[in-house]
């Protein structure tokens, strides 16, 4: 039996959550008791060192990983209860590595984001959804190119467009800005904010702590599979915590224009060149 799609949730309502989540992979403990709420109308940045468990947590929120103990919930129900199509109607994912083995064009790949709606009343909106997603992710200039011919940054924008075309209320993005230039990085975060303003929940894995500080409502810091902190950027992005989690001394200063935290790594051997 297929569940009815819920009405759009009010801002602040939990869309997805993990509770005391433990995941082991290859015999190793990867996530160790993580509890986190993903709420409608908010951008949640997931940060932390390489290997901290960010992608694993995102996969758990997608329902793509078996859980050892604890819960991963979508609309209050364990993800294991949802069928693939039901999940695809409710959450869209952009993975860290997009592998496309056939010579599909950009437009064809974005169109794949509409697959969950095939045969439903919402298929009528396919064309508009694809066009809007391609415009937002700025892929129109190369929409007829084959995916494999694109640069890393262009590929990332196509993967983002595909996720946007899906038009679900939960958007899970794994390092969407990693290969992007400065302009497109800011674009993606502005886009995340706009999606959140429509009532969507956006989870975005970031390495750039200043992007997290500038755009996220909440920042979750993962360290060694545990949640080191979660809260508004000004509360959790502190010099003490970041220096400890990243094992590198950082300074945090208020942004001269906005007052948001600006994170500066301490540099040894840097300074005026002779
Ligand atoms: P992040 O995205 O924060 O960089 P990941 O969630 O990808 O980290 O991975 C967390 C840790 O789990 C890493 O140390 C990674 O090597 C390890 N890991 C991921 N998948 C597996 C697996 N299938 N078997 C064993 N270890 C894994
Ligand atoms: Mg990762």
CATH number at residue 203: 3.40.50.300
Q: What percent of the chain has pLDDT above 70?
A: 98
The structure's pTM equals: 0.94
Six-digit token string for 5: 């799609």
Pairing label, strands 69-74, 77-78: antiparallel
Q: Is the CB of 25 under 6 A from ligand 1?
A: yes
Identify the bridge partners of residue 223 per DSSP, sorted by sequence position: 226
Q: For residue 52, which ligand has an atom nearest its CA?
A: 1
Question: Is 274 inside any structural domain?
Answer: no
Eight-state DSSP code of residue 6: P
Tell me the CA–centroid distance for residue 40 and ligand 1, in Å: 28
Question: Is 273 inside any structural domain?
Answer: no
Nearest CA to ligand 1 atom 19: 25
State yes or no: pLDDT of 81 exceeds 60: yes
Question: Is 183 inside any structural domain?
Answer: yes
Tell me the CA–centroid distance for residue 216 and ligand 1, in Å: 24
Range of the domain at 60: 14-265
Question: Is 31 inside any structural domain?
Answer: yes
Question: Is 3 inside any structural domain?
Answer: no
CA–CA distance, 90 with 3 (Å, rounded to integer): 11
Question: Is 51 inside any structural domain?
Answer: yes
Q: Is the CB of 97 under 6 A from ligand 1?
A: no
Q: For residue 54, which ligand has an atom nearest its CA?
A: 1
Q: Is the CB of 231 under 6 A from ligand 1?
A: no
Q: What percent of the chain has pLDDT above 90?
A: 85
For the segment 145-203, what is each residue's pLDDT rounded down to a tens digit?
999 999 999 999 999 999 999 999 999 999 999 989 999 999 999 999 999 999 999 99
Residues with CB under 5 A from ligand 2 (ion): 54-55
Question: Is 19 inside any structural domain?
Answer: yes
CA–CA distance, 175 with 158 (Å, rounded to integer): 14
State yes or no: pLDDT of 107 exceeds 80: yes
Q: Which of 200, 212, 221, 14 is nearest to 92 (CA)?
A: 200
CA 75 to chain centre: 18
Tell me the CA–centroid distance for residue 7 and ligand 2, in Å: 32
Indicate the number of domains in the chain.
Answer: 1
Question: Is 99 inside any structural domain?
Answer: yes
State yes or no: pLDDT of 9 exceeds 90: no
């Amino acid at each position: 039996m297929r569940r009815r799609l819920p009405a759009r949730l009010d801002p602040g309502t939990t869309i997805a959550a993990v509770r005391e989540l433990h995941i082991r992979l290859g015999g190793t403990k990867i996530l160790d008791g993580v509890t986190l709420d993903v709420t409608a109308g908010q951008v949640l940045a997931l940060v932390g060192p390489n290997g901290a468990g960010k992608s694993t947590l995102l996969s758990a929120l997608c329902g793509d990983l078996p859980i050892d103990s604890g819960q991963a919930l979508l609309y209050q129900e364990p993800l294991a209860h949802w069928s693939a199509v039901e999940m695809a109607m409710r959450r869209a994912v952009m993975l860290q590595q997009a592998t496309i083995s056939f010579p599909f064009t950009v437009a064809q790949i974005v169109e794949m984001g509409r697959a969950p709606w095939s045969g439903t009343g919402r298929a009528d909106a396919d064309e508009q959804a694809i066009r809007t997603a391609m415009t937002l992710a700025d892929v129109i200039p190369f929409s007829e190119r084959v995916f494999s011919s694109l640069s890393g940054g262009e590929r990332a924008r196509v993967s983002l467009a595909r996720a946007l075309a899906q038009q679900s209320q939960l958007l899970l993005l794994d390092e969407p800005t990693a290969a992007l230039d400065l302009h497109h990085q800011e674009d993606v975060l502005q886009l995340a904010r706009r999606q959140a303003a429509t009532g969507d929940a956006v989870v975005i894995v970031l390495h750039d702590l200043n992007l997290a500080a500038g755009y996220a409502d909440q920042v979750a810091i993962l360290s060694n599979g545990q949640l080191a902190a979660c809260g508004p950027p000004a509360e959790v992005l502190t010099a003490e915590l970041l220096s400890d989690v990243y094992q590198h001394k950082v300074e945090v200063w208020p942004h001269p224009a906005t007052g948001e935290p600006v994170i500066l790594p301490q540099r040894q051997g840097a300074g005026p060149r002779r």
